[in-house]
A and B are shown apart, each in its own frame.
Chain A
Amino acid sequence: MPDFKDKIRIRFADLKLSLARENEIIEELSQHLKDQYEQLIARGATEDEAHQAVLLELNESDLLGPELRRIERRLQHEPLVMGADGKAHLLGDLWQDLRYGLRTLLKNPGFTTVAVIALALGIGANSAIFSVVNTVLLRPLPYKKPERLVMVWEDNSKQGFPRDTPSPANVMDWRDQNHVFESMAALVESSFNLTGAGDPERIDGQRVSASLFSLLGVEPQFGRGFRAEEDQPGGNHVVILSHGLWQRRFGSDPGIIGKPINLNGESFTVVAVMPRTFQG
């Protein structure tokens, strides 16, 4: 089958069409001439006769160039997809392109497999790197000067706990002998049985020293932080609620400050509620 594209392209030399538009038109006209050629062969013409007849038809098309120039002059600033006459067709053309791409991929399963694996590895690696960057660089801890915060543990590797919770006495020693840190605070994870209004509930919390909030640079949404004297034995029956617990369990009661709640069978006085953004 002869290729007529070059013969057609010569006629478009001075039309100054965009390359994509020119290729679209050349392909369509070329398909037409191929159809014509095949029909002539089917009717008994020799290949040479058919070829000459098709070229004759093309040569008779004197108006092709001038006509196209007149029509295409108004189309030059339009989308590259031939025939699209406005933005309303963009979605339809996109859908057609997607289906064409899918068919092409299905025709070449080997290439598709390699491409999918390469994409999967690339996306996976990017996701992993971004997770680290996001955690370390983009979303630092929501505290004041997070880059200057460190966590200090007690090394109890002999018992299998390289990061062990220090005893209160050791914490007091560290605090008194500290000449490295601006400030130190202590915290330990604890669970509490919350009883009183509503069903009993097991909640997770922390026992903290009074200086923790000032060290982190965070303020309660309302109420007050812990006081130094509340670090003393017997003065520690005060509690600060997380925003979530205050909403869920106490119905966002604005008068919660000063009210007692029952934790592990003992009465604690609510002195503050933390803001929603605070992460304990």
Chain B
Amino acid sequence: MAMSYIGWHILDRELKKGSAELLILSLVEDRPRHGYEIGQLIELRSRGVLHFNVGSLYPLLYRLEKRGWIRGRWVENPGQRRRRYYRLTAAGEKVLTAQRSNWRDFVRAITRVTGVAHA
């Protein structure tokens, strides 16, 4: 994952990993999505700031699946290629709720320290 000009590199490795998981869990919350769609949505909604390439997106998906937070299924729709759709599991829903809350707390804390909101 790359997040260039806002200084993503200053955040530690675990934080990056945690936020990447939060992004994916959020995107499959409403409905199942395939990997390419997830990558596209992250890029689109972050207005190009965040980008997952194949090498970072799929290991992450498989890790989340291994933990039981998302679950993938092959689906073959008429006139389309066979794709693997991921959906949020009940366990993933709980993790998503917790991670959202932690993320809000973290951003508030950073904001208070750096005064970014008043800049």
Which residue numbers of A lie inside 8 Å of B, CB to CB? Answer: 25, 27-29, 31-36, 57-58, 60-64, 67-68, 70-72, 74-75, 82-83, 85-86, 89, 96, 100, 103
Is B8 engaged at the interface, CB distance under 8 Å to the other chain? no
Q: A68-B62, A74-B66, A85-B66 are in contact. Are A63 and B84 (CB under 8 A)?
A: no
Find chain B residues with CB under 8 A from A71 CB. Answer: 59, 62-63, 66
Give the residues from 38 to 56 in chain B that come closer than 8 angstroms, CB to CB, to chain A. Answer: 39, 53-56
Is B103 positioned at the interface, with any CB of A under 8 Å from its CB? no
Q: How many residues of B contact A (CB 8 A)?
A: 25
A–B pairs, 20, beta carbons within 8 Å: A25-B62, A27-B82, A29-B54, A31-B34, A31-B35, A31-B81, A31-B83, A32-B36, A57-B53, A57-B54, A63-B59, A64-B54, A72-B62, A74-B66, A75-B62, A82-B72, A85-B65, A85-B68, A85-B71, A103-B76
Does B5 lie at the interface of the complex (its beta carbon under 8 Å from any beta carbon of A)? Answer: no
Write the chain B residue with the least CB distance to A68: B59
B76 adjacent to A100 (CB under 8 Å): yes
Question: Quick one: which of A36, A74, A75, A83 contacts B84, CB cutoff 8 A?
Answer: A83
Chain A nearest CB from B84 CB (Å) reads 5
Residue contact A83 to B71, C-beta cutoff 8 Å: yes
Give the docked Cα–Cα distance between A176 and B62 (Å). 89
Q: A28–B55 contact, CB under 8 A? A: no
Q: For residue B58, which residue of chain A has the nearest CB?
A: A29
Q: Does A32 contact B65, Cβ atoms closer than 8 Å?
A: no
Q: CB-defined interface of B2-43 with A at 8 Å, one 1/0 digit per residue?
A: 000000000000000000000000000000001110010000
Contact indicator A63/B58 (Cβ below 8 Å) = no
How many Å from the CB of A189 to the closest CB on chain B? 64
Q: Which residues of B sit under 8 angstroms from A63, Cβ to Cβ?
A: 55-56, 59
Taking CB atoms, residues of chain B closer than 8 Å to A60 are 53, 55
Confirm or deny: B94 has a beta carbon within 8 angstroms of a beta carbon on chain A: no
Contact with A along B73-116 (1 / 0, CB 8 A): 11010000111100000000000000000000000000000000
- The number of A-B residue pairs with CB atoms under 8 Å apart is 76
CA distance A72 to B66 in the complex (A): 9
Q: Point out the residues of chain A lying under 8 angstroms from B82, CB to CB.
A: 27, 31
B53 x A28 contact (CB < 8 A) = no
New A-B pairs, 13, CB < 8 Å, besides A25-B58, A31-B35, A74-B66: A28-B84, A29-B54, A31-B34, A31-B81, A31-B82, A32-B57, A58-B54, A64-B54, A67-B56, A68-B58, A70-B59, A71-B59, A82-B72
In the complex, residue of chain B having the shortest beta-carbon distance to the beta carbon of A35: B36
Taking a contact as CB atoms under 8 Å apart, the answer to whether B58 and A83 are in contact is no
CB distance from B9 to the nearest CB of A (A): 16
Nearest residue (CB) in A for B68 is A85
Contacts of B57 in A (CB 8 A): 32
Complex Cα–Cα for A128 and B47 (A): 70
Docked pose: A63 CA to B13 CA in angstroms: 15
Closest residue of A by beta carbon distance from B37: A35
Quote the shortest CB–CB distance from B12 to chain A (angstroms).
17
A-B CB proximity, top 10 nearest: A61-B55, A67-B59, A64-B55, A83-B72, A35-B36, A32-B36, A61-B54, A63-B55, A71-B62, A28-B84
B69 to chain A, nearest CB (A): 10
For B59, what are the chain A residues with a Cβ–Cβ distance below 8 Å? 63-64, 67-68, 70-71
